[in-house]
Structures are given as C-alpha cells and as structure tokens.
Structure 1
C-alpha cells in the first residue's frame, strides 16, 4: 500500500499540484517560518490571525464576495498578469486596469497598501510586517493555486462518480444508479441558451455559463470488503480521474471511502454513510447530522429528566415522572430505542419532537408569560396541541422557560420535494422504493448544479467546496429535511436544532 501512495504523491507533484512549504503556512495561517504570527494592521489597528490571507481570499486563492464586497483572486495566474486580460472571468470585469504584480510590487502592496499601479488599495486590505524573503515564499505558494483545472474536466465534459456499496441489494443499486443517470440526462438536455444569445447578438455573444460541461456519470461499484475500499477506489481514480464524487451510497463503514477522498483531495459530496471522524475537509455527509441532533436530544432528555413535558393523545400537557424515565439513565441509549420506550410511556401518538410551525410559534407569543430563568423545561409534543392547557400549566408551575425542538429528520406528510421525486421517478420509468435516499440524491444533484455554475470557468475543487459552504445556508432545500445549514469546514450537513423560547435564555 505504501508504494502505491508514494507513486500517487509523485504523480501529483509531477503534474503541478500544490506542495507544502513556508509560503503555504504564511497564506493559510499567517505564520512565519518560526511559527510566529505575522503582524497585520488595518487603519493602524493591530489585528490577529484572522487576517491570514486564506480567511478572505479563501484556500483556493480564487476569492469570494460578501455583503457587496468582492475579494479578488490572488492565484499567481491572476496577480502575475495585466488586467483586464479578457472577459473570461467575472472577477476581471470588476477590476480596474492594473499592471501585473512581481515580487517587489506585491511586497509593497502587503507592507504599504499601494498596488501595482501606484494607487492605494481597498482600505479593507490589511498591511503586514513581512520580509521580502517571506514575500518570495508566499509568491511561490501562490503559483501553485489554480494553475490549471483539476483532473476530471475536459473542454466539453466533466466526470462525476458515484460509489456503490457491494453489500446493498440489487434493487437498491439499480434504483440509485437509474435515478442518478436520469438526473444527469435531464441536466445534459439543458443548453447554455445559444439560440437566445444569437437572437440578441452581438450584445450577448459571450457565454454566461462558462462552466457548462456535459455531465458524465462514472459508476464505481465496489467489490471487496470495506478494509480494501480505499485501495480499490484509488486504483479506479487513477484509471479514470473524476472531478467530484456525488452521493456515494454506503450502508455503513464510510471511513474507508472518506479516507480515499481526503488522501486524493477529491470532494465527496453528501454521502449517505456515517462513521467519519471530525476534521475531514473533502467529505460532506448527511447521516452524521441526523445523529448529532439525536445525540443532542438524548443528552438533553437525560439531563432534564425530572422536568420533561409531553402532550398526551388528547392534547393535554403532562409531566413525566422519574420512575417513568429509567431508560434515560443509560449513557448510550439509541434514539430509536429511546423513542420506542418513550412512546410506551406516553402513548403511540406522542412524539419526542415536532415540526417547525409558524402558527404554533405565534400562539406561544400570545401567551406573554413571564419567564423563570431557574426552570428549564424541554417540551415533548405530539400533533395535538392545546394552547389553553399550556397557559394553565404556566399559571400553576411558576411560568417555566418554554423551549421547543424541531426535527428535520422526520419526513413531512406532504413534502413538495418528495412530490418532485415522485414525478421524476415516473419520468425516468422507475419505482420509488426509498424516498429518503432519492431525496438526498436530488438535493446533492441540485446543489452541485448550482455550485458548478458559480465556478465561472475555474474548475478548482477547493473553490467548489468554498462555494458549497457559502451556499448551504441559503440554497433551496430539496431534501426531506426541513432545513439544512453548514459553516466553513463544517462537513456534517446539520439542520439547526431549532428552539423557541419566548424570552430570556434561549438555550436548552
């Protein structure tokens, strides 16, 4: 195995991939060769490590935009040329004409805030106490950022793989691949609007969808045991590199797949499996987010076991007694078992958590109950809610702090996204035997479609991951989850553990 990775390392280095050196440390962490923080200033105010280059210009070096401010790319393919070069990139169009940077002019920019034209740079650009040698090291690293498109992309096509667990049933494999291929065929049937641009020529001669490519689905059906998957995937990748892996369908034991993605720096987007450790950069997963929320609820239920409330089958508010909660004492009670035992105590129609409901929140606000900050109550609700009973409970129980947890892991009875999946499966001529899996596939496909559009012709995997991070909080949600969110380097797609507390401390 070791010889294989030595070969891979040589392969990547010989093809111009980034190499670790001092410039990388300066760019990513703002640290010099001695491990000391390089001082930085904004308007004569000293700042800290937050002003490392990558925090604004991103790890890809391709910049970003936030609150109307555009942070330009700093890869040397951008800094080292005169601007504007052409109209290929949206970044170029927003820049004034500027001379190419060399080491001397870049050092002046970093230390004095004067750009290559001799003008003052944007005031949000920090000034650094950095030596010429450190600037040279930084430039060497900038030359490795987006020098070329990453593997898996051709002028007319982009290869996207999906991974299939060999332990799954034939029906599961067939449904997954048929749905994915149907989505790809649907995507490839769309055009770049050539006829429309021709109609309005010469105004719209330049294609607006610069990252348009024909999507090619590559199916990696694994054959061996999980402990051999990393080696098997590495060989498949070397035989035919792909740009990203989309919706790998893994029953469990995702760690080997995740290790491959991290080692080869291939984004693996929205895996169905679980078992990854924290800190992975190239793996996004669905399952861990559900597990995180369930673990959160289980811990809360154990801690608040003497103050738990629920609604019975008639919608009446009840309080659980300690004697009814013996099953919460175990440190690792599974969520499914806990829910089953809870239902045995409270009734089959009772649920531990409920959907977010605007009307319900409005009703709670109307109660206008003072809050006793000393009392913490976790509400456990069913579909039947008696607001009068809530009010009476407040009056009898010193107006406890009411909090409410929403569950995004429970499929809604009427989910418009599910309806879309039903329509698509009929269109693709296939059966829908697992809506949950297909909904996650649809979400992954939809988000990747929009994210690739935002690449603006720069096929950088690091840039793609940054775009996905940025979009997760605002992109329309096509899963069966009520909501999803993600923060930079947060790789488990976490639906917020929503809560509603009328006043005061809103933590539970």
Structure 2
C-alpha cells in the first residue's frame, strides 16, 4: 500500500463512523448568533494556516479572543473544552474514551464520503456523503452532519463566521497528510541517543538491547515482507503497514552546547521517525529542545535531569527524576503534619542532579538551602556543626553522595541533631553498611523506583529476555529495563496506528495505551493521559529495617506530590 492510500484504512473509517448520532434533525437547535464585526479576519501579517492552527490547538481566534462554544443546547464552554484539538487531537485523527469515539477530521477526510470496508466488491456502502463547505459550516455551528442528522450532544456548536471556519479548514487540510520523515516503503528508522561521557559498560548494555531487539523484530517469522507485498485486497490494511526496523546510535560528545549541532548532522544524514530510550551523563535539555523543535518523538530516556515543560509535546519521560525526589520530601512532610517545621537541605554546587532536587523545593515554606562548594573538599566537622545548628527543631535533607554523607555520622553521634534526615536513594546509593546502628531510626530514604526487595520480580519479563539473548548486564539493569520498555511501547503503538505513520498520532496512541502495558520497567506504577509527559509520577519514603541485615522498607504507600 502506498502512503497516499493509507488514508482509506479501516482505522480512520471506524473513527469517522461515530461522527453522526442517529437522532433525526427535524428541528435542530438554532445556531449560535454570529457577529461578524466582533470577529475580524486574521491579520495580514499572520498566515491563514497559522491562524487556523492557533484556533485548532490553542482555541484562540485571529482577534486574540478565546473561542467559546455551546454543548447540550445551552451550556457555554471555553478553554480546553472548546479547543478542537482537545478531543480530535493534534493529529486530527481522533480518539476514543470508553464508548465515546471522536472522529478523524484531518486532511480531506471530511470532504470525501465515509465508507466502511466490506468484503463485497466493488464499493462499500456509504455511511454519510461528503461534506461541502456549506454543510460543514452547518455542522460546526448547528451540530447537523452531512446526512442531516444531529451530531453527538458533546460536540460543541461554535459561533464562528465564514472566514474563521475557512481558516480552520485550511489548517486541517494540512494535518496528517504526508507521512512523517523516517519512514519509506520498506523501513522505519529509529535512533537511540548516548549523551556525554557514559561509562563503556553502560553504553554497551544499552546498545545491546536496541540492536538485539531490532534483529528479533526483523526476523520475519511470519514472512511479513511477503505478506505486505502480496496482501489480498481485504487484508491490505493489516499487512501493508509492515516495515523493517532500522536502529541508529547517535553519540553526542564534547560540551552540551555542541550537542544540538551534532544532532542536526545525524538527522540530516538519516531522518528517524522517533528517538527510543537513550542515556545521558549530564543534562538532557539539548536533546529535549532538538526533539521539540524538530517535532521528533523522544521516548523514555534514562535521565535524572528531564526537562519539566508540560506544554511541550514530543519528549516523553519515565519520571521527573531528581525534581520528583525533592517534591516527595515536601509531600511527605505535608502528609505527616510536619510541614511547619523548618527544613534544611544540603547539596554540592557541582552536582547537577542534587541541585535539581534542591531547586524543586527551594521556595517552599520553611526551607533553607546550604550549598557545599566543590573546592572545599568533603564536608568537615565545623561545616556539619553549623548545618545541625540550623536544622535544630527541624528536619535535614541531604542531596549528597555516600562519601559526603558518611562524614556527618561521627558529628551526629556526638552532637545529637534532627530527628528526621532524608537521603536520596539515587545519590546515596544502596550500600548502607556505613550507617551507624544508633542513627538508623532517624533516616528516611526517598526512592522513586520499585524497592530493591521487589525489583527482581518486577523485572522478570525483561531480565528473562535479556538472559536468553545473553546480553544481561546486572550493573546496568535500570538502563536495560528502561530501553526494553521503550521498545515494547513503541512496537505496540506502531501496531495500533496501522500504517498511519504520523508522529503526532504515534504519540497519541502511546498516551492512550501505556496504562495497559503489562511491563512497567523499574517503576511499579505508570500511566499517561493526553498532555502528560511523565509516566511514573510518585515514589516511596522508606527506612532501613533493623540490623543485622538492613534493607529498605517502605513507610508510605506509593505517593505522588
């Protein structure tokens, strides 16, 4: 099937079938009054396509006013409820929620008859005739479709003038028309990104997963290429979308400021459909910005420093990383009725991860921040005494490595100190042998993955596959588990989009289906919804179990800030 023929696949047909409710429109409700003078045409400096895009995705009229509409005859709505893209989605290919199906409206779909596929040649029965501009304006204003039947009551009725509707249609005609870069007749290209000086064993562990998974994906155990080439007409929609996967490894070296140029070179050499997984020793921000500007899906990298920009569309993360740890400290104190007590947090100025955690709660009430500068070596006795004085009658949070924190224990044993000390599992690590038994009851660990005692069971699926393929790397377990998750989610989404190789639709299917995946990587709970960009949203507060074999034991359920 050629890309241009993908438009007629069964997926869009089924979505469009829900455009009409079956109640006859003998006496449709009156359309909202249109005041043309109140809605001036788009300014000459703004293109019609851009004006239509703002209407569709942002709900902003060319005049700068927000769009309002009416649902169920008399309820006025605005904001997200009146934005077309909220329901019909960025791709214009619609969605569903329970029994409610939102039809596809992108490209020329509305201006062609709706026909459902059938086994009976030569032509499928018509479900509704094609819209023309007049019937489409009627549908938008009065909720009456091309058959003269009422649309669903939840479909807003808009008080738009002719020019505003035409701006909207001009934009929709450009949406989801040409398949996205990175896909051709035979192959679909992906990349994984290794950013910064990543340890060789971590790099190898990641690349092994990506390459071996793709080799297995392309093994054609069901003769997929032949079936795609010779598909019978009634199964063409099922077999023709098959593509072989091609995985590229984009390695970024040097200063992060140089990474955007390196990414541009990689992308020019071979555009990819999406970036899958990846790992960074340093900030992910340059990669995030490149993907957002290029409109390139960037899915589930392993990074403690994601970019928290919920308005961005194309990067999707596993969690908020270190920022989430900071938020969990504040949430736990709030839930525990301790938020009014002072909190002193300490981090090293040269540690980006620690700084991200501290910045997440720096502005919270009662929080004081102490920065240890790297030129001063490890914290000494005098430094810790000053910190303990500040934390008197309060709590202490240490965004520090084990080597730094261990210098506190002798001072704490001699001088008392706060009754609650939060430590980051990500920074301190899982070796707690150096903690004096007399201090264990004071320590609370912020832990955003599954607890170590439960992690092996959670990772049975990925670990079993990795062992069978002889590529399991225990020291890189999280990186490999996250990569396997990203690959599985991408594969499932490609199955659902059935040849509609549009990046926006690909992301929308991931948002819609990730809640039901059977494998959640190192996180016990994941979920996404339209517009959400972090799959794991919570963590545990844990403490050490009694000696002689201390282990992390949760003192809270999985909590979210």
Q: CA deviation at 1:450?
A: 0.8
121-130 vs 343-352, greater mean Cα deviation: 343-352
Q: Residues 30 and 430 (structure 1 numbering): CA distance in 2 closer, same or farther, change over 3 Å?
A: closer
Q: What do the CA deviations read for 1:64-122 (whole angstroms, capped 9, x no partner)? A: 0111121111102321222227579xxxx9x9622222322211110121212232223
Residue 21 of structure 1 corresponds to which residue in structure 2? 50
Residue 317 of structure 2 corresponds to which residue in structure 1? 285
Residue 96 of structure 2 corresponds to which residue in structure 1? 65
1:436, 1:446 → 2: CA distance? 15
TM-score where L is the length of structure 1: 0.72
Q: Does 1:163 align with 2:255?
A: no
Alpha carbons 1:421, 1:435 under 8 Å: kept: no
Q: Residues 266 and 236 (structure 1 numbering): CA distance in 2 closer, same or farther, change over 3 Å?
A: same
1:351, 1:409 → 2: CA distance? 19
464-473 vs 227-236, greater mean Cα deviation: 464-473
Q: Residues 153 and 20 (structure 1 numbering): CA distance in 2 closer, same or farther, change over 3 Å?
A: same
2:163, 2:54 → 1: CA distance? 14
Q: What do the CA deviations read for 1:303-335 (whole angstroms, capped 9, x no partner)? A: 658699xxxxxxxxxxxxx99975965677459
Residue 357 of structure 1 corresponds to which residue in structure 2? none
Residue 508 of structure 2 corresponds to which residue in structure 1? 466
Q: What do the CA deviations read for 1:391-432 (whole angstroms, capped 9, x no partner)? A: xxxxxxxxxxxxxx9853434445334333333333333341
Match runs of 1:349-364 below 5 Å: 352=444
Match runs of 1:8-407 below 5 Å: 21-44=50-73, 45-49=75-79, 50-84=81-115, 97-190=127-220, 205-206=235-236, 208=238, 211-273=241-303, 274-279=305-310, 280-286=312-318, 288-300=319-331, 329=395, 333=399, 338-339=422-423, 344=436, 348=440, 352=444
Q: CA deviation at 1:246?
A: 0.5
Tell me the number of residue pairs that the alignment of Structure 1 and Structure 2 aligns.
Answer: 417
Q: Residues 173 and 333 (structure 1 numbering): CA distance in 2 closer, same or farther, change over 3 Å?
A: closer
Q: Residues 473 and 345 (structure 1 numbering): CA distance in 2 closer, same or farther, change over 3 Å?
A: farther
Q: What do the CA deviations read for 1:257-308 (whole angstroms, capped 9, x no partner)? A: 111101111011011122424233211223x534244212322456658699
Q: Residues 68 and 96 (structure 1 numbering): CA distance in 2 closer, same or farther, change over 3 Å?
A: farther
Q: CA deviation at 1:348?
A: 4.9
Residue 489 of structure 2 corresponds to which residue in structure 1? 447
Q: Does 1:495 align with 2:524?
A: no
TM-score where L is the length of structure 2: 0.65
Residue 425 of structure 1 corresponds to which residue in structure 2? 466
Q: CA deviation at 1:495?
A: 3.4
Please tell me the root mean square deviation across aligned C-alpha atoms, in Å: 3.9
Q: Residues 87 and 166 (structure 1 numbering): CA distance in 2 closer, same or farther, change over 3 Å?
A: farther
1:252, 1:305 → 2: CA distance? 36
335-344 vs 297-306, greater mean Cα deviation: 335-344
1:116, 1:413 → 2: CA distance? 57
1:79, 1:131 → 2: CA distance? 19
Alpha carbons 1:255, 1:275 under 8 Å: kept: yes
1:507, 1:436 → 2: CA distance? 21
